Amino acid sequence: MPLTLDAATPADMPTLMVLIGELAEFERLAHEVVVTEASLAEALFAARPVVETVIARVDGEVAGFAIYFHNFSTFLGRSGLCIEDLYVRPAFRGQGVGRGLFGHLARLAGERGCGRMEWSVLNWNRRAIGFYESLGARPVNDWTVYRLDRAALDALQGPGPG
């Protein structure tokens, strides 16, 4: 299985949009997808990109992708690599594509001097959890993720000083 892993280019935008749609369906979150090619392209290819992505192909066929960014640990005093999404199409699962993507990201994190690599997983996705644990990952059970959605952000900002 010739697996190739390449950074996305602007020409890959339609492919990424399809993959994001498939991921959203798999995660039962399609109703939350509002990304557009334009907004994703801005995030990926602006003068100062906020995310990066890699596309996995098997024999030239798109098999999956990962989108990631850097975070920072004040305790480590160094950046980490945070995987926002990693998705392998069903037809390619169990063939080493996920391991290839994680290996690629781990090498990248090492080259960039990152102190760690982390990501989130839905609690019901037992297959992914088993896979992550087979890689040596362990859950961080002492923390709970909190989120402010756009409406909550707007309400928190209020009218501003003045």
151 inside domain: yes
Query: Binning pLDDT at 50, 70 and 90, where does residue 149 land?
Result: confident
The residue ranking higher by pLDDT, 158 or 156, is 156
What pLDDT digit, counting tens, does each position of 71-82 carry? 999 999 999 999
Q: Are strands 117-119 and 78-88 parallel, antiparallel or unpaired?
A: parallel
For residue 137, count CB atoms less than 10 angstroms from its CB and return exposed for 0-12, middle for 13-18, buried for 19 or more: middle
Across the range 75-102, mean pLDDT stands at: 96
The reported pTM is: 0.91
For residue 64, count CB atoms less than 10 angstroms from its CB and return exposed for 0-12, middle for 13-18, buried for 19 or more: buried
94 inside domain: yes
Q: What is the chain's length?
A: 162
Cα–Cα dist 99/102, whole Å: 5
Across the range 92-115, mean pLDDT stands at: 96
162 inside domain: no
Residue range of the domain that includes 143: 3-157
Q: Tell me, what CATH number does 74's domain have?
A: 3.40.630.30
Domain count, the chain: 1
Across the range 126-133, mean pLDDT stands at: 94
